[in-house]
């Protein structure tokens, strides 16, 4: 009986044990099983490693390289179009940008767009899903219709309409927010479905009959079990956000002054780098994008396995 309750709710009276003991217990109860489980979930590990490697590249690059050379004409203003060399590891482009600096600067910018889009999309989607599933009826119907309509309308098109109406084009952060306005649909739909299933489960009923309030049921009973779903849908939303933003940028509607991966692709298309034979220009952003997408995909399917008990047992 005197085992400390690691899973105690924050509102319950403070335990008599010390904080370190509590943390230790938390480790053994919650974190250790996760680590042990993760060992048996290669997609998750592999995905994290891929993204981690990319981040490591960016981090080291920032430390050891002069990333200011991403600007136009900053690298060797005289003669442009250097192929990769010791001086310019990824070469330079027709406008005299140092493409190594562009890659180091651009990758985190693109991830930033994705994270902003993912964060707002999932937050909004989750809140909407809970409101819909909690109030049912008309509210639920409205949310469902909105989400269904959103599923039908390709997000890229709405983004195009938003982008062409913003004067001076979109900044990186605006880009993330714009993408979030269309990306909430999927999380809202999937989380709503989960909440609807969960609210029919006996333990929710038991909690209700134990006198728990609606808020307590949502945050103490449902939320903890939804965390894997929410995390997975966050990861998916980040990927969708990046995909949409790159598409938008490729169409020439991105932040012109930022060296994001999508803008680098845009300049490639614009300047016909392929016909110029400048493979070093288009290859790095494509590789970076592939790493990001494959990494995110692996993480989300790893999380899927985690949240799906049927798959979990098979691991």
Partner 1 sequence: MTPDGVRSESVVSRLKHATFTELLFVVFHSFLLRRFLFFLLVIWIAATVIFIIPRLSGQDPVKEKLLLEAQRGGAIQTGFEQMAEAYQKRLGLDQPILTQYKNYMFDLVRFDLGTSIAFYPRSVNSMIADSILWTIGLLGTVIVLGFLIGTLAGALLGWPRSPGYLQFLFMPLLTLSAVPQYLLGLILIYVLAFKFSWFPLFGAYNPGTLPSWDFAYIWDVIQHAILPALAFILGAIGFWAVGMRGMMINNQGEDFMIQAEAKGLKGARIFMRYAVRNAMLPQVTGLALSYGTLLSGAILIERIFMYPGIGDTLFQAIRLSDFFVIRGVVMTVILSVATATFLVDVLYPLLDPRINYGRR
Partner 2 sequence: MSALLELQDVTKVFGGGFLDTRGVTVAVDRVTLTIEEDIPRIITIAGESGSGKTTLARLLLGSIEPTSGTMLYRGKDFSGLSRRERREFRREVQPIFQDPFESYNPFYKVDHVLHSPIKNFKLVSSRDERDRLVEEALLMVGLQPDETLGRFPHQLSGGQRQRIMVARALMLKPRVILADEPVSMVDASLRATILESIQDMKRELGISVLYITHDLTTAFQISDEILIMYRGNVVEYGDVTKVIPNPQHAYTRMLIDSIPQANPGKRWGKLLEATGTEMVGTGEETEQFGIRPQATRHYDEVEPDHFVMISENDAGSPGEEELVSAATDQGPSS
Closer to partner 2 by Cβ: residue 25 or 123:
25
Name the DSSP class of 166.
Answer: S
Min dist. Cβ of residue 300 to partner 1 (A): 11
Does 165 bind partner 1 (CB under 8 A)? Our answer is: yes
Name the minimum Å distance from CB 313 to partner 1. Answer: 10
Q: Which of 276, 309, 271 is nearest to 72 (CA)?
A: 271
State the binding string over 91-130 for partner 1 (x if CB under 8 A, else -): ----------------------------------------
Distance CA 204, CA 197 (A): 11
Per the document, the length of the chain is: 315
Chosen residue from 45, 72, 156, 216 binding partner 1 by CB under 8 A: 156
- In the list partner 1, partner 2, none, the entry touching 149 (Cβ below 5 to 8 angstroms by class) is partner 1
- Of 168, 166, 172, nearest to 249 (Cα)? 172
Residues 297 and 186: their CA atoms lie apart, in Å, by 16
Q: Is residue 137 close enough to count as binding partner 2 by CB under 8 A?
A: no
206 binds partner 2 (CB under 8 A): yes
- State yes or no: residue 203 binds partner 2 (CB under 8 A): yes
* Cα distance between residue 231 and residue 239, in whole Å: 13
CA distance 101 to 278: 17
The two tokens of residue 31 are 């974190």
Q: Does 167 interact with partner 1 (rule: CB under 8 A)? A: yes
**Contacts (Cβ under 8 Å, ≥6 apart) of 7:** 29, 30
Residue 286 binds partner 1, judged by CB under 8 A: yes
Q: How many CA atoms lie within 13 A of 151 on its CB side?
A: 11
Catalog residues that contact partner 2 under the rule CB under 8 A.
1, 3, 5, 7, 12-13, 16, 201-203, 205-212, 216, 220-221, 224-225
Catalog residues that contact partner 1 under the rule CB under 8 A.
145, 148-149, 151-158, 160-162, 164-167, 243, 246-247, 250-253, 265, 268-269, 274-275, 277, 279, 282, 286, 289-290, 293-294, 296-298, 310
């Amino acid at each position: 009986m005197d085992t400390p309750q690691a899973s105690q709710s924050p509102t319950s009276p403070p335990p008599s044990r010390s904080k370190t003991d509590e943390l230790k217990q938390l480790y053994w109860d919650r974190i250790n099983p996760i680590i042990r489980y993760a060992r048996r979930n290669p997609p998750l590990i592999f995905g994290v490693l891929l993204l981690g490697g990319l981040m490591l590249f960016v981090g080291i690059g920032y430390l050891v390289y002069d990333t200011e050379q991403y600007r136009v004409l900053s690298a060797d203003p005289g003669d442009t179009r250097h192929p990769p060399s010791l001086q310019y590891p990824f070469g330079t482009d027709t406008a005299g940008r140092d493409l190594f600096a562009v890659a180091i600067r651009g990758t985190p910018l693109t991830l930033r767009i994705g994270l902003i889009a993912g964060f707002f999309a999932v937050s909004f989607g989750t809140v909407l899903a809970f409101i819909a599933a909690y109030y049912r009826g008309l509210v639920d119907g409205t949310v469902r219709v909105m989400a269904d309509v959103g599923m039908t309308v390709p997000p890229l098109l709405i983004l195009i309409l938003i982008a062409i109406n913003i004067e001076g084009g979109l900044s990186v952060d605006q880009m993330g927010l714009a993408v979030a306005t269309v990306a909430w649909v999927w999380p809202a739909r999937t989380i709503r479905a989960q909440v609807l299933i969960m609210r029919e489960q006996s333990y929710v009923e038991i909690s209700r009959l134990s006198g728990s309030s609606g808020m307590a049921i949502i945050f103490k009973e449902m939320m903890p079990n939804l965390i894997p779903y929410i995390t997975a849908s966050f990861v998916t939303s980040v990927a969708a956000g990046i995909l949409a933003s790159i598409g938008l940028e490729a169409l020439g509607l991105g932040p012109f002054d930022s060296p994001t991966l999508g803008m680098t692709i845009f300049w490639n298309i614009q300047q016909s780098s392929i016909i110029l034979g400048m493979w070093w220009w288009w290859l790095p952003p494509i590789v970076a994008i592939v790493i990001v997408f494959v990494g995110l995909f692996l993480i989300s399917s790893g999380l899927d396995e985690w949240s799906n008990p049927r798959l979990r047992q098979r691991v």
